[in-house]
């Protein structure tokens, strides 16, 4: 069948822009279950972020007493009773893996829970919106003001709003740098302009980024910049619960007065009265009634708005709620709703989280605070002495993770009748040198192992270096090879 296109239709198609122009979003305030959850989570999360650097944790004489500290100059990370060294980077890898799997599990259970409730962009944007409503009023007042010429009163409100935004953004950037130095000392140095320049630079960078992202870009970060909406769309399945408009109840939608007239005549109409409150409260400016969309962050504010309207008109709540298309089709077919939070996908994710947690916990509980690494000389590999014995040289690195000095003894197991000598260290006995390890430090030694050339059959023998703490009895070991020339 041939389809004819008129000249006017062709002009319309040619003039249609490729991208829709961005429209400023003016979300309306709302009260309800999900709004309360978001407020409480925001207070908890931001409270932890802003106040945690000031929490103290005693670690002994000479050790920092800040509970959470990333000490880059000394290459240490402190988290309450845990102290991590650069050699233990695998713990951070485990945390990243754990966070990714937890994100997948949240998506499988309730869609974009992270985006709607826990994401930093969401938390700070909510805070900036609250300031905007406090200064300039709610949605209607801001819409009316935007349509009118600028006045002195409106300009004063705008200056106040941006001043409060900048204060929040400045404290956000300032709180971040407090995790990298002693918070109390750094605050005093910042106030007296004695802090290092790098601190002021990073505070400026983070202040500007917070101000721009939460104050101006807002929903554009979620729609255009963030990769998670596109990733989670590929990870979700048909059983995942998402904020959904239940069109089986809502359609056909019409105004309240018209719906009452149609119902009085016995005609079927939906519960949706087309008030558009769900779209008015949406922080990304979408209409959830149009189905699943990339811009929906699953915050649940539209649920609160719709429930409030349903209560006023005397209809059942949760016309918008956490649901899926399977249940919508089941209700249309007259079947009961079915939810499957426990299914192979969620079991796999939960099992992976348990395994990663178990491995990290075991590694943390079983780790030693005395470490040893050995590196054999490359050139020459072995030296034959004048008496016919063979000598191999090694670079031995000892790591004392405790907060006090300790004395250790070095032993070897390997070539028969072998002796060990630490260059530059006077040992009590040649067979077992004693070394003093400084607290919370790494000590590098030059170790020489000498053995008679008795066995001609093997050109390389395994040698084990063993370090024993004389006082505590802690032992660390490492293996290498003793090579014959």
Give residue-wise pLDDT tens across range 382-418: 898 888 888 999 999 999 888 788 899 888 888 888 8
Q: Out of 53-57, 73-77, 245-249, pick the least confident.
A: 73-77
Give residue-wise pLDDT tens across range 145-162: 888 888 898 999 999 999
Residue 418: count other Cβ atoms within 10 Å of its Cβ.
Answer: 20
Q: What average pLDDT score do residues 262-284 get?
A: 89
Q: Looking at residue 5, what is its pLDDT?
A: 46
With H, G, I as helix, E, B as strand and everything else as coil, classify residue 426: coil
Instruction: State the residue for tokens 């069109």.
Output: 247
297: buried, middle or exposed (CB in 10 Å: 19+, 13-18, 0-12)? buried
| pLDDT exceeds cutoff 60 at 422 | yes
| pLDDT exceeds cutoff 60 at 268 | yes
Which domains, from first to last, does the chain contain? 33-88+112-235 (no CATH), 370-483 (2.60.40.10)
Determine the Cα–Cα distance for residues 420 and 418; give it in Å rounded to an integer: 7
Q: Give me the torsion for CA of 136, 141, 146, 150, rounded to 10°.
A: -60
Q: Looking at residue 3, what is its pLDDT?
A: 46
Q: What is the mean pLDDT of the chain?
A: 88
- Give the percent of the chain with pLDDT over 90: 53
Strand partners, 482: 461
Token readout for 203 is 């505070």
Determine the Cα–Cα distance for residues 316 and 133; give it in Å rounded to an integer: 30
Residue 146: count other Cβ atoms within 10 Å of its Cβ.
Answer: 11
Give residue-wise pLDDT tens across range 435-466: 888 888 888 999 999 888 776 666 788 899 99
Give residue-wise pLDDT tens across range 131-149: 999 999 999 999 998 888 8
Distances, alpha carbon 355 to alpha carbons 85, 100, 288, 352, 362, in Å: 23, 14, 38, 5, 10
Give residue-wise pLDDT tens across range 274-319: 999 999 999 998 999 998 888 899 999 999 999 999 999 999 999 9
Q: Strand ranges (DSSP E) for 190-340?
A: 242-245, 320-323
Q: What's phi and psi for 390, nearest 5 deg?
A: -110, 135
Q: Out of 2-11, 165-174, 367-376, 473-482, pick the least confident.
A: 2-11
CA 214, 211, 77, 40 torsion: positive or negative? negative
Token readout for 206 is 């983070």
For residue 178, which of 194, 197, 202 has the smallest C-alpha distance?
A: 202
CA-based R_g, the chain, Å: 33
| pLDDT exceeds cutoff 80 at 21 | no
Determine the Cα–Cα distance for residues 124 and 119; give it in Å rounded to an integer: 9
Residue 231: count other Cβ atoms within 10 Å of its Cβ.
Answer: 13
Q: What average pLDDT score do residues 81-110 get?
A: 90
Residues for the chain: how many in total? 485
Determine the Cα–Cα distance for residues 28 and 138; give it in Å rounded to an integer: 6
Q: Looking at residue 11, what is its pLDDT?
A: 45
Q: Looking at residue 242, what is its pLDDT?
A: 92
pLDDT bucket at 4, cuts 50 / 70 / 90:
very low
Give residue-wise pLDDT tens across range 33-44: 999 999 999 999
Helix (H) or strand (E) holding 398: strand 390-400
| pLDDT exceeds cutoff 70 at 326 | yes
Q: What is the pTM assigned to this prediction?
A: 0.82
Distances, alpha carbon 264 to alpha carbons 67, 261, 310, in Å: 67, 5, 19
Q: Looking at residue 428, what is its pLDDT?
A: 45
Per the model's pLDDT, the better-predicted residue between 17 and 190 turns out to be 190
Distances, alpha carbon 293 to alpha carbons 22, 229, 243, 288, 443, in Å: 16, 9, 10, 8, 58
Q: Are 198 and 173 in contact (CB under 8 A)?
A: no
Helix (H) or strand (E) holding 443: strand 441-451
């Amino acid at each position: 069948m041939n389809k004819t296109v008129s000249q006017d239709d062709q002009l319309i198609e040619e003039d249609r822009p490729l991208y829709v122009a961005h429209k400023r979003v003016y979300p309306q305030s709302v009260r309800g279950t999900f709004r309360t959850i978001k407020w409480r989570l925001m207070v908890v999360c931001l409270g932890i972020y802003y106040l945690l650097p000031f929490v103290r944790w005693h670690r002994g004489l000479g050790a920092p007493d800040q509970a959470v500290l990333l000490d880059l100059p000394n290459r240490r990370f402190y988290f309450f009773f845990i102290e991590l060294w650069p050699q233990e980077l695998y713990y951070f890898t485990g945390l990243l893996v754990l966070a990714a799997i937890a994100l997948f599990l949240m998506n499988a259970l309730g869609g974009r829970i992270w985006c709607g409730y826990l994401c930093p962009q969401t938390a700070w944007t909510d805070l900036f919106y609250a300031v905007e409503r406090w200064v300039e009023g709610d949605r209607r007042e801001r819409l009316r003001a935007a349509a009118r010429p600028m006045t002195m009163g409106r300009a004063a409100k705008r200056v106040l709003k941006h001043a409060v935004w900048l204060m929040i953004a400045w404290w956000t950037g300032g709180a971040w740098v407090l995790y990298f130095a002693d918070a109390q000392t750094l605050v005093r140095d910042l106030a007296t302009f004695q802090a290092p320049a790098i601190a002021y630079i990073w505070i400026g960078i983070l202040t500007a980024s917070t101000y721009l992202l939460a104050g101006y870009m807002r929903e554009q970060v979620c729609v255009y910049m963030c990769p998670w909406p596109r990733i989670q769309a590929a990870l979700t399945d048909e059983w995942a619960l998402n904020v959904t408009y239940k069109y089986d109840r809502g359609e056909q939608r019409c105004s309240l007065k018209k719906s009452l007239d149609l119902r009085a005549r016995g005609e079927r109409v939906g519960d949706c009265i087309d008030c558009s409150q769900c779209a008015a409260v949406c922080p990304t400016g979408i209409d959830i009634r149009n189905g699943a969309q990339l811009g929906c962050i699953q915050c649940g504010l539209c649920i609160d708005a719709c429930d409030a309207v349903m209560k006023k008109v005397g209809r059942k709540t949760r016309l918008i709620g956490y649901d899926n298309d399977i249940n919508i089709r089941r209700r249309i077919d007259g079947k009961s709703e079915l939810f499957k939070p426990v299914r192979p996908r969620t079991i796999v994710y939960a099992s992976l989280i348990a395994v990663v947690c178990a491995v990290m916990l075991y590694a943390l509980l079983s780790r030693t605070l005395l470490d040893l690494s050995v590196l054999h000389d490359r050139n020459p590999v072995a030296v034959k002495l004048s008496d016919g014995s063979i000598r191999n040289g090694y670079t031995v690195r000892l790591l004392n993770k405790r907060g006090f000095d300790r004395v250790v003894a070095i032993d070897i197991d390997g070539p028969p009748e072998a002796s060990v000598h630490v260059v530059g260290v006077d040992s009590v006995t040649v067979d077992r040198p004693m070394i003093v390890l400084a607290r919370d430090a790494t000590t590098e030694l030059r170790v020489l192992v000498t053995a008679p050339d008795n066995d001609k059959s093997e050109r390389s023998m395994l040698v084990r270096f063993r370090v024993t703490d004389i006082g505590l009895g802690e032992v660390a070991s490492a293996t290498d090879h003793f090579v014959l020339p």
